[in-house]
Amino acid sequence: MFKITVTPRFGDIDSLKHVTNTVVGDWFETGRNEIFRIFTPDLDTSYEKWKLIMVRTEFDFIDQMYYGFDVEIRTFIDKIGTSSFTVGHEAWQKGKLKSKGKAVIVHYDFIEQKSKPIPEEIKEKLRKHTCDEE
């Protein structure tokens, strides 16, 4: 599991000091960076080097998040298939789960425009980040 801490910015909130719904997707995206590095260590997003494409994302809002308190983003591997894997995300504030979500990502060749099986050595690296905590 990977963990990062984000600090809600003033522009991330509404008039009630709630974190707006659109911000959570950005935070979850940032939480995926270390998983992206497993496939592309230098995070070079050139057409020839990038190997991933997201095909689905979803998240649920469990409770309100507020300005003035840091949020811990937890990112983990939920499931690994032949050419795709599912990433789980959680947003925690003040010790409580506030939002959770998933993203399905495909190992993809942009030049050939098709999915590719995930190499076994990459699958092994992904397995190290499955969630066995909370």
Give me the amino acid identity at 48: E
Q: What is the mean pLDDT of residues 91-102?
A: 97
Q: Which residue has the tokens 């409770």?
A: 63
* Residue 47 or 93, more confident: 93
> Residue 46: what pLDDT?
83
Mean of pLDDT over the chain? 93
Q: What is the mean pLDDT of residues 53-57?
A: 95
Give the model confidence (pLDDT) of 19-47 as tens digits. Answer: 988 899 999 999 999 999 999 999 888 88
Q: How many CB atoms lie within 10 A of CB 101?
A: 19
Is the pTM higher than 0.75? The answer reads yes
Q: For residue 121, with 0-12 CB atoms within 10 Å meaning exposed, 13-18 middle and 19 or more buried, which class applies?
A: exposed
Give the model confidence (pLDDT) of 108-128 as tens digits. Answer: 999 999 999 999 999 999 999
Whether residue 102 is predicted with pLDDT greater than 80 in this model: the reply is: yes
Q: For residue 104, with 0-12 CB atoms within 10 Å meaning exposed, 13-18 middle and 19 or more buried, which class applies?
A: middle
> Residue 134: what pLDDT?
44
Beta-strand pair 52-61/84-93: unpaired
Domains of the chain: 2-119 (3.10.129.10)
pLDDT grade for 16, boundaries at 50, 70 and 90: confident
Length of the chain: 134
